[in-house]
Amino acid sequence: MTRIVTVGAAQLGPVTRTETRERVVERMLALLHQGHEARCDVVVFPELALTTFFPRYYLEDRDEIDSWFETEMPSPATKPLFDEAKALGVGFCLGFAELTPDGHRYNSQILVERDGRTVAVFRKVHIPGHEAHEPWRPFQHLERYYFEPGPDGFGVWPAFGGLVGMMICNDRRWPESYRVMGLQGVELILCGYNTPIHYAPDPSQDILQGFHNALVMQSGAYQNGTWVVGVAKAGIEEGVDALGQSCIIAPSGQIVAQAFTTGDELVVARCDLDWCQRYQGTLFDFDRYRRPEVYTRITAQRGVVRPD
Ligand code: CDT
Protein backbone atom coordinates (compact mmCIF):
# COMPACT_ATOMS: atom_id res chain seq x y z
CA MET A 1 0.00 0.00 0.00
CA THR A 2 0.98 3.60 -0.35
CA ARG A 3 -0.35 6.59 1.55
CA ILE A 4 1.40 9.53 -0.06
CA VAL A 5 1.47 12.89 1.68
CA THR A 6 3.27 15.51 -0.38
CA VAL A 7 5.10 17.77 2.06
CA GLY A 8 6.67 21.15 1.38
CA ALA A 9 9.34 22.39 3.77
CA ALA A 10 8.98 26.17 3.40
CA GLN A 11 12.27 27.56 4.62
CA LEU A 12 12.32 31.31 5.25
CA GLY A 13 15.33 33.52 4.89
CA PRO A 14 16.01 36.27 7.41
CA VAL A 15 13.21 38.45 8.78
CA THR A 16 14.44 41.88 9.85
CA ARG A 17 13.44 43.48 13.14
CA THR A 18 11.31 46.07 11.35
CA GLU A 19 9.72 43.73 8.80
CA THR A 20 5.95 43.64 9.28
CA ARG A 21 4.01 40.44 9.77
CA GLU A 22 2.02 41.38 6.66
CA ARG A 23 5.21 41.38 4.58
CA VAL A 24 6.32 38.04 6.03
CA VAL A 25 2.89 36.59 5.25
CA GLU A 26 3.31 37.77 1.63
CA ARG A 27 6.55 35.77 1.50
CA MET A 28 4.74 32.78 2.98
CA LEU A 29 1.96 33.09 0.44
CA ALA A 30 4.54 32.90 -2.35
CA LEU A 31 5.87 29.66 -0.83
CA LEU A 32 2.32 28.38 -0.33
CA HIS A 33 1.59 28.95 -4.03
CA GLN A 34 4.77 27.10 -4.97
CA GLY A 35 3.57 24.30 -2.70
CA HIS A 36 0.21 24.25 -4.42
CA GLU A 37 1.91 24.04 -7.84
CA ALA A 38 3.98 21.13 -6.51
CA ARG A 39 0.76 19.44 -5.32
CA CYS A 40 1.66 19.71 -1.65
CA ASP A 41 -0.85 18.51 0.92
CA VAL A 42 0.91 20.43 3.67
CA VAL A 43 3.44 23.27 3.71
CA VAL A 44 5.56 23.64 6.85
CA PHE A 45 6.90 27.03 7.96
CA PRO A 46 9.62 27.66 10.59
CA GLU A 47 9.54 28.37 14.32
CA LEU A 48 8.51 31.96 15.23
CA ALA A 49 8.02 32.50 11.53
CA LEU A 50 6.17 35.81 11.62
CA THR A 51 8.91 37.98 13.09
CA THR A 52 12.60 38.23 13.58
CA PHE A 53 13.90 35.80 16.23
CA PHE A 54 13.23 38.28 19.05
CA PRO A 55 14.69 36.16 21.91
CA ARG A 56 18.06 37.48 20.75
CA TYR A 57 17.07 40.81 22.37
CA TYR A 58 16.74 41.61 26.05
CA LEU A 59 13.56 43.67 26.38
CA GLU A 60 12.01 45.00 29.59
CA ASP A 61 9.10 47.06 28.34
CA ARG A 62 5.97 44.90 28.65
CA ASP A 63 4.22 46.50 25.66
CA GLU A 64 7.27 45.99 23.50
CA ILE A 65 7.47 42.35 24.61
CA ASP A 66 3.77 41.86 23.91
CA SER A 67 4.24 43.26 20.41
CA TRP A 68 6.12 40.08 19.42
CA PHE A 69 3.25 37.79 20.47
CA GLU A 70 0.00 36.73 18.79
CA THR A 71 -3.12 36.84 20.96
CA GLU A 72 -5.28 34.98 18.44
CA MET A 73 -4.79 32.68 15.50
CA PRO A 74 -5.63 33.50 12.80
CA SER A 75 -4.56 37.03 13.64
CA PRO A 76 -5.42 39.90 11.29
CA ALA A 77 -1.96 39.60 9.68
CA THR A 78 -2.12 35.82 9.19
CA LYS A 79 -5.74 35.60 8.04
CA PRO A 80 -4.75 35.91 4.34
CA LEU A 81 -2.57 32.82 4.78
CA PHE A 82 -5.38 30.84 6.41
CA ASP A 83 -7.86 31.97 3.75
CA GLU A 84 -5.59 31.27 0.78
CA ALA A 85 -4.51 27.88 2.12
CA LYS A 86 -8.14 26.84 2.51
CA ALA A 87 -9.02 28.14 -0.95
CA LEU A 88 -6.12 26.17 -2.46
CA GLY A 89 -6.83 23.08 -0.35
CA VAL A 90 -3.32 23.08 1.10
CA GLY A 91 -2.69 22.47 4.79
CA PHE A 92 0.06 24.20 6.70
CA CYS A 93 2.04 24.30 9.91
CA LEU A 94 3.21 27.64 11.32
CA GLY A 95 5.36 28.62 14.29
CA PHE A 96 4.41 31.71 16.30
CA ALA A 97 4.75 33.31 19.73
CA GLU A 98 1.51 32.72 21.61
CA LEU A 99 0.08 34.90 24.38
CA THR A 100 -2.99 33.16 25.79
CA PRO A 101 -6.05 34.99 27.17
CA ASP A 102 -4.97 34.02 30.70
CA GLY A 103 -1.48 35.45 30.19
CA HIS A 104 0.66 32.41 29.38
CA ARG A 105 3.44 32.77 26.84
CA TYR A 106 4.44 29.86 24.67
CA ASN A 107 6.60 29.17 21.66
CA SER A 108 3.87 27.48 19.60
CA GLN A 109 3.14 25.82 16.28
CA ILE A 110 -0.31 25.47 14.72
CA LEU A 111 -1.32 22.69 12.34
CA VAL A 112 -4.12 23.42 9.87
CA GLU A 113 -5.79 20.84 7.61
CA ARG A 114 -6.54 21.29 3.91
CA ASP A 115 -10.13 22.31 4.69
CA GLY A 116 -8.98 25.12 6.99
CA ARG A 117 -9.71 23.24 10.22
CA THR A 118 -7.20 23.73 13.02
CA VAL A 119 -5.91 20.28 13.94
CA ALA A 120 -3.84 21.27 16.97
CA VAL A 121 -1.64 23.89 18.59
CA PHE A 122 1.62 22.47 19.95
CA ARG A 123 3.66 24.34 22.58
CA LYS A 124 7.43 23.87 22.66
CA VAL A 125 8.48 21.53 25.48
CA HIS A 126 12.26 22.04 25.78
CA ILE A 127 13.03 25.73 26.20
CA PRO A 128 16.74 26.40 25.54
CA GLY A 129 18.98 29.35 26.32
CA HIS A 130 18.97 31.46 29.47
CA GLU A 131 16.56 33.24 31.83
CA ALA A 132 18.40 36.50 32.44
CA HIS A 133 20.25 39.08 30.39
CA GLU A 134 23.85 37.93 29.75
CA PRO A 135 25.63 40.98 28.28
CA TRP A 136 28.85 39.02 27.61
CA ARG A 137 27.16 37.22 24.74
CA PRO A 138 27.35 38.70 21.23
CA PHE A 139 23.58 38.14 21.10
CA GLN A 140 21.06 36.80 23.55
CA HIS A 141 19.12 33.53 23.51
CA LEU A 142 16.43 34.49 26.03
CA GLU A 143 13.80 31.91 25.25
CA ARG A 144 13.71 31.00 28.96
CA TYR A 145 12.91 34.64 29.75
CA TYR A 146 10.10 34.93 27.21
CA PHE A 147 8.47 31.48 27.16
CA GLU A 148 7.06 28.92 29.56
CA PRO A 149 7.58 25.26 28.70
CA GLY A 150 4.58 23.72 26.98
CA PRO A 151 2.58 21.86 29.65
CA ASP A 152 0.97 19.33 27.34
CA GLY A 153 3.98 17.45 26.02
CA PHE A 154 4.03 15.75 22.65
CA GLY A 155 0.76 14.80 21.00
CA VAL A 156 -0.03 13.00 17.76
CA TRP A 157 -3.12 13.84 15.71
CA PRO A 158 -4.91 12.22 12.77
CA ALA A 159 -4.31 14.53 9.80
CA PHE A 160 -3.39 14.30 6.11
CA GLY A 161 -4.38 10.63 6.10
CA GLY A 162 -1.86 9.68 8.80
CA LEU A 163 -0.72 10.38 12.33
CA VAL A 164 1.07 13.70 12.64
CA GLY A 165 3.14 15.04 15.53
CA MET A 166 4.89 18.35 16.12
CA MET A 167 7.99 19.59 17.89
CA ILE A 168 9.85 22.90 17.82
CA CYS A 169 13.56 23.49 17.33
CA ASN A 170 15.39 22.46 20.51
CA ASP A 171 12.85 19.64 21.00
CA ARG A 172 14.51 17.93 18.04
CA ARG A 173 17.73 17.41 20.00
CA TRP A 174 16.04 15.22 22.65
CA PRO A 175 15.33 11.55 21.89
CA GLU A 176 12.39 11.61 24.31
CA SER A 177 10.52 13.99 21.98
CA TYR A 178 10.49 11.48 19.15
CA ARG A 179 9.89 8.47 21.39
CA VAL A 180 6.84 9.94 23.11
CA MET A 181 5.38 10.53 19.66
CA GLY A 182 6.66 7.16 18.44
CA LEU A 183 4.72 5.50 21.23
CA GLN A 184 1.59 7.13 19.80
CA GLY A 185 2.30 5.71 16.35
CA VAL A 186 3.53 8.91 14.76
CA GLU A 187 4.17 8.80 11.02
CA LEU A 188 5.10 12.40 10.24
CA ILE A 189 6.79 14.85 12.62
CA LEU A 190 6.82 18.55 11.71
CA CYS A 191 9.49 20.77 13.26
CA GLY A 192 10.35 24.43 12.73
CA TYR A 193 13.66 25.83 13.93
CA ASN A 194 15.87 28.91 14.41
CA THR A 195 19.39 27.70 15.08
CA PRO A 196 22.13 30.34 15.37
CA ILE A 197 25.44 29.01 14.07
CA HIS A 198 27.29 30.57 17.01
CA TYR A 199 26.71 28.81 20.32
CA ALA A 200 28.23 31.13 22.92
CA PRO A 201 28.58 28.62 25.81
CA ASP A 202 30.79 26.38 23.62
CA PRO A 203 31.86 27.84 20.25
CA SER A 204 33.55 24.55 19.31
CA GLN A 205 30.04 23.42 18.41
CA ASP A 206 29.56 26.20 15.84
CA ILE A 207 31.10 24.30 12.95
CA LEU A 208 29.00 21.25 13.82
CA GLN A 209 25.56 22.91 13.70
CA GLY A 210 24.63 21.35 10.37
CA PHE A 211 25.95 17.95 11.40
CA HIS A 212 24.05 18.00 14.71
CA ASN A 213 20.86 19.15 12.99
CA ALA A 214 20.93 16.21 10.60
CA LEU A 215 22.22 13.79 13.24
CA VAL A 216 19.34 14.27 15.66
CA MET A 217 16.54 14.34 13.10
CA GLN A 218 17.86 11.40 11.09
CA SER A 219 18.30 9.37 14.27
CA GLY A 220 14.85 10.28 15.56
CA ALA A 221 13.27 9.37 12.24
CA TYR A 222 15.01 6.00 11.99
CA GLN A 223 14.64 4.96 15.64
CA ASN A 224 10.91 5.61 15.49
CA GLY A 225 10.23 4.66 11.88
CA THR A 226 8.73 8.05 11.05
CA TRP A 227 9.05 10.84 8.53
CA VAL A 228 10.58 14.02 9.99
CA VAL A 229 10.41 17.46 8.42
CA GLY A 230 12.78 20.13 9.75
CA VAL A 231 12.27 23.70 8.54
CA ALA A 232 14.63 26.59 9.22
CA LYS A 233 14.45 30.32 9.46
CA ALA A 234 17.86 30.70 7.93
CA GLY A 235 20.55 33.14 6.93
CA ILE A 236 22.00 36.26 8.46
CA GLU A 237 19.20 37.86 10.44
CA GLU A 238 20.06 41.15 12.13
CA GLY A 239 23.73 40.16 12.05
CA VAL A 240 23.21 36.66 13.45
CA ASP A 241 23.91 33.76 11.11
CA ALA A 242 21.35 30.96 11.37
CA LEU A 243 21.44 27.44 9.99
CA GLY A 244 19.49 26.55 6.86
CA GLN A 245 19.55 22.93 5.64
CA SER A 246 15.81 22.43 5.99
CA CYS A 247 15.15 18.82 5.15
CA ILE A 248 12.70 15.98 4.81
CA ILE A 249 13.82 12.67 6.29
CA ALA A 250 12.40 9.22 5.56
CA PRO A 251 11.70 6.52 8.17
CA SER A 252 14.94 4.92 7.01
CA GLY A 253 16.79 7.95 8.38
CA GLN A 254 17.77 9.11 4.90
CA ILE A 255 17.44 12.75 3.89
CA VAL A 256 15.28 12.72 0.76
CA ALA A 257 15.11 16.50 0.16
CA GLN A 258 17.17 19.39 1.46
CA ALA A 259 17.34 23.15 1.00
CA PHE A 260 20.53 24.40 -0.63
CA THR A 261 20.07 28.12 0.05
CA THR A 262 19.67 30.15 3.23
CA GLY A 263 16.76 32.13 1.80
CA ASP A 264 13.08 31.57 1.12
CA GLU A 265 13.03 28.12 -0.48
CA LEU A 266 10.53 25.31 -0.78
CA VAL A 267 11.72 21.72 -0.81
CA VAL A 268 9.19 19.03 -1.57
CA ALA A 269 9.00 15.30 -1.03
CA ARG A 270 6.34 12.70 -1.58
CA CYS A 271 6.20 10.95 1.78
CA ASP A 272 4.73 7.46 1.79
CA LEU A 273 3.38 7.02 5.31
CA ASP A 274 3.07 3.28 4.76
CA TRP A 275 6.87 3.14 4.62
CA CYS A 276 6.81 3.73 8.41
CA GLN A 277 5.57 0.17 8.96
CA ARG A 278 8.75 -1.22 7.44
CA TYR A 279 10.51 0.03 10.57
CA GLN A 280 7.69 0.20 13.11
CA GLY A 281 6.65 -3.35 12.27
CA THR A 282 10.12 -4.94 12.18
CA LEU A 283 13.33 -3.75 13.87
CA PHE A 284 11.47 -1.13 15.89
CA ASP A 285 8.41 -3.18 16.76
CA PHE A 286 8.07 -1.47 20.14
CA ASP A 287 5.50 -3.88 21.51
CA ARG A 288 7.76 -6.83 20.85
CA TYR A 289 11.20 -5.48 21.69
CA ARG A 290 11.02 -2.48 24.05
CA ARG A 291 11.83 -2.99 27.76
CA PRO A 292 10.06 -0.15 29.57
CA GLU A 293 10.57 -1.85 32.92
CA VAL A 294 14.31 -1.10 32.67
CA TYR A 295 13.86 2.45 31.38
CA THR A 296 12.16 3.84 34.51
CA ARG A 297 15.04 6.24 35.19
CA ILE A 298 14.06 8.21 32.13
CA THR A 299 10.89 9.53 33.75
CA ALA A 300 11.92 9.13 37.41
CA GLN A 301 14.78 11.64 37.35
CA ARG A 302 15.72 14.80 35.47
CA GLY A 303 19.48 15.22 35.88
CA VAL A 304 22.38 12.80 36.13
CA VAL A 305 22.70 10.72 39.31
CA ARG A 306 26.17 9.14 39.35
CA PRO A 307 26.93 5.98 41.31
CA ASP A 308 28.80 6.54 44.61
N1 CDT B 1 15.22 28.07 18.78
C2 CDT B 1 15.97 27.13 19.38
O3 CDT B 1 15.47 26.32 20.12
N4 CDT B 1 17.30 27.17 19.11
C5 CDT B 1 18.25 26.31 19.76
C6 CDT B 1 19.54 27.01 19.80
C7 CDT B 1 20.50 26.38 20.70
S8 CDT B 1 20.28 26.77 22.37
C9 CDT B 1 20.84 28.36 22.52
C10 CDT B 1 18.41 24.98 19.04
O11 CDT B 1 18.36 23.95 19.71
O12 CDT B 1 18.64 24.96 17.83
Tens digits of pLDDT across the chain (308 residues) = 789 999 999 999 999 999 999 999 999 999 999 999 999 999 999 999 999 999 999 999 999 999 999 999 999 999 999 999 999 999 999 999 999 999 999 999 999 999 999 999 999 999 999 999 999 999 999 999 999 999 999 999 999 999 999 999 999 999 999 999 999 999 999 999 999 999 999 999 999 999 999 999 999 999 999 999 999 999 999 999 999 999 999 999 999 999 999 999 999 999 999 999 999 999 999 999 999 999 999 999 999 999 99
CB of residue 194 inside a 6 A radius of ligand 1: yes
Cβ-based neighbours of 231, under 8 Å, separated by 6 or more: 9, 10, 11, 44, 45, 46, 190, 191, 192, 193, 246
Give me the pLDDT at residue 130, please.
98
Identify which of 145, 166, 195 to mutate to test ligand 1's pocket (most ligand atoms within 8 A of the CB).
195
Q: State the distance from the centre of ligand 1 to the C-alpha of 20, rounded, in angstroms.
A: 24
Nearest C-alpha to atom 12 of ligand 1 is from which residue?
195
- Write the DSSP assignment of 52-99 as a string of letters: --GGGS----HHHHHTTSBSSSS-TTTHHHHHHHHHHT-EEEEEEEEE
Residue 1 is predicted with a pLDDT of 76
Angle at 107 between CA 106 and CA 109, to 5 degrees: 115
CA dist 209 and 47 (Å) reads: 17
Euclidean distance between CA atoms 52 and 138, whole angstroms: 17
Q: How many CB atoms lie within 10 A of CB 277?
A: 14
Helix (H) or strand (E) holding 21: helix 21-37
Q: How far is the CA of 294 from the centre of ligand 1 (A)?
A: 31
Question: In whole angstroms, what is the distance from residue 37 CA to residue 39 CA?
Answer: 5
| Separation between Cα atoms, residue 27 and residue 264, nearest integer Å | 8
For residues 218 and 203, is the Cβ–Cβ distance under 8 A?
Answer: no
Residue identifier of the C-alpha nearest atom 3 of ligand 1: 170
193 lines ligand 1 (CB under 6 A): yes
Give me the active site residues, please.
Answer: 47, 124, 169
Cα–Cα dist 105/150, whole Å: 9
Helix (H, G, I), strand (E, B) or coil at 279: helix
The rounded Å distance from CA 56 to ligand 1 centre is 11
